[in-house]
Amino acid sequence: MKRIVAGKAFELVRGDITRERVDAIVNAANSRLIPGGGVDGAIHSAGGPEIEAECRKIGGCGTGMTCATTAGKLHARRVLHTVGPIWRGGGHGEAELLASCYRSALELARAENLRSIAFPSISTGVYAYPVDQAAAIAVATIVAFLENNAIPEAVKMVLFDAATYAAYREALAAALPA
Per-residue pLDDT tens over the stretch 89-138: 999 999 999 999 999 999 999 999 999 999 999 999 999 999 999 999 99
Rounded Cα–Cα distance for residues 110 and 146 (Å): 11
Rounded Cα–Cα distance for residues 176 and 149 (Å): 18
Residue range 32-57: mean pLDDT, rounded = 96
What's the confidence (pLDDT) of residue 96?
A: 98
What's the confidence (pLDDT) of residue 20?
A: 98
Q: At 140, is the pLDDT very low, low, confident or very high (cuts 50, 70, 90)?
A: very high
What's the confidence (pLDDT) of residue 27?
A: 98
Element (H, E) at 66: strand 66-70
Rounded Cα–Cα distance for residues 113 and 151 (Å): 7
Residue range 30-34: mean pLDDT, rounded = 96
What's the confidence (pLDDT) of residue 139?
A: 98
What's the confidence (pLDDT) of residue 106?
A: 98
97 φ/ψ angles, rounded to the nearest 5 degrees: -65, -40
What's the confidence (pLDDT) of residue 178?
A: 78
Percentage above 90 pLDDT, the chain: 99
User: Is 40 assigned a catalytic role?
Assistant: yes
Q: Return the domain boundaries, the chain.
A: 2-175
Residue range 165-170: mean pLDDT, rounded = 98
In this predicted structure, the answer to whether residue 30 has a pLDDT above a threshold of 90 is: yes
In this predicted structure, the answer to whether residue 2 has a pLDDT above a threshold of 90 is: yes
| Domain 2-175: assigned CATH number | 3.40.220.10
Residue range 130-148: mean pLDDT, rounded = 98
Q: Name the active-site residue from 16, 23, 40, 132.
A: 40
For residue 58, what are the contacts with CB-CB under 8 A and spacing of at least 6? 33, 67, 69
pTM of the model: 0.97
Average pLDDT, the chain: 97
